[in-house]
Amino acid sequence: MMTTKFYTLENNSNWTRGFPWVSRIINGLKDVMYCDLCKVTIDCPVGTVQVTLQSDKGIRWPDILGCGGGWPLTIVSQRVLSQWREDGIGEFPVDKLEILNPVPKKLPRDQMPEYFWLDGEQMLGAKVDFDASGYVDVRFCPKCGRRTHDISATYDRQHSGVWPIAFVPESWNGANVFTTDLSPAAFFCTEKVVECARKHRHTNFKFVPAERAGSSLQGIDYLKR
């Protein structure tokens, strides 16, 4: 019986030269609620998001765009969405991303693709087995659902050996691109997405096999011929 192989799905901007980086979200982050138990304001992206780029980074446009600026959006090009649909990977909830001027001088504005951000809040597709994934003292707020864990103890545990990001058995809903209760900003995918990226030469993706993703940041060389 074949088992499905999972990967984290991220951008590779921190490890690759030449691609731009979203440094600031100008419009699109909304305060959703204030949790008086956690004492924090919960915000999330809603609708069209407007951003600016780091001024000195980037000479060519990628298929997945790295993002800081207060919320780690997962931003992909229209080409990726179209080829995911054509290759049977699926269609997913997205909203438009607008890149405001100025853009880096070496980055050709007239070649910029249409970009969209994936709405991870609507893409919950599995639950993480936190203990099997090396997390320590995981708790969820009963009011807002915010997850916390012992950061220091988790770091030590996950760096004591090779740890996976493991899913609760039977919790995966079959989606090829999905989030979990780890975070709506942390995306996972199946081998089909990696094969699609290899076939169409999608740029700047980073895929880390889930069986070592708890303790490793190193992606596979998916574009190797």
Please state, in angstroms and rounded to a whole number, the distance separating the CA atoms of residues 225 and 207.
Answer: 16
Inside any domain, residue 108: yes
Residue 48 lies in a domain: yes
Q: What is the pLDDT along the chain (225 residues), one digit of tens a residue?
A: 348 999 999 999 988 889 999 999 999 999 888 999 888 888 899 999 999 999 989 999 999 999 987 789 999 999 999 999 999 999 999 999 999 999 999 999 999 999 999 999 999 999 999 999 999 999 999 988 889 999 999 999 999 999 999 999 999 999 999 999 999 999 999 999 999 999 999 999 999 999 999 999 999 999 986
Phi, psi dihedral angles at 220 (to 5 degrees):
-85, 160
Helices and strands, counts by H and E, the chain:
3, 13
Let me know if residue 35 belongs to a domain: yes
Angstrom distances, CA of residue 58 to CA of 61, 80, 195: 8, 20, 26
Domain housing 54: 6-209
Q: In this structure, is residue 131 part of a structural domain?
A: yes
Domain count, the chain: 1
* Contact of 44 with 122, CB cutoff 8 Å: no
Helix residue spans in the chain (DSSP H): 78-86, 151-158, 191-200
What's the pLDDT at 222?
Answer: 96
- The structure tokens listed for 112 are 């910029």
Q: Is 27 a member of any domain?
A: yes
Residue 95 lies in a domain: yes
Is 60 a member of any domain? yes
Q: How far apart are CA 196 and CA 203, in angstroms?
A: 11
Q: Do the Cβ atoms of 45 and 32 come closer than 8 Å?
A: no
**Is 219 within a domain?**
no
